[in-house]
Amino acid sequence: MSLIITDECINCDVCEPECPNDAISQGDTIYVIDPSKCTECVGHYDTPQCVEVCPVDCIPKDPDHVESQDQLQAKYEKLMAAKG
């Protein structure tokens, strides 16, 4: 399951540099997470780093993008293979 940033985001800029997959970017009004790149840090860390650093706790799991641990691992492997 990828994560999503809710409208409680205060644009503090701490989540974007923490994402090892470059899945977080500045949207029109708040930061957004690209579900095709978000692995919840599977393959990199034990916990999602954006969630760890978020001061307002506005990054829950995205119910529209449900994925198993195996699917997240496969996505991580595909992203790493694409990086070369």
Burial bucket for residue 16 (CB in 10 Å: 0-12, 13-18, 19+): middle
- The 10 Å CB-count burial string (b at 16+, else e) for 30-40 is ebebebebbbb
For the chain, domains (ranges, CATH) are 16-83 (3.30.70.20)
- In single-letter form, the type of residue at position 70 comes to D
Could you report the per-residue pLDDT of 15-73, keeping only the tens digit for each?
999 999 999 999 999 999 999 999 999 999 999 999 999 999 999 999 999 999 999 99
pTM to 2 decimals?
0.93
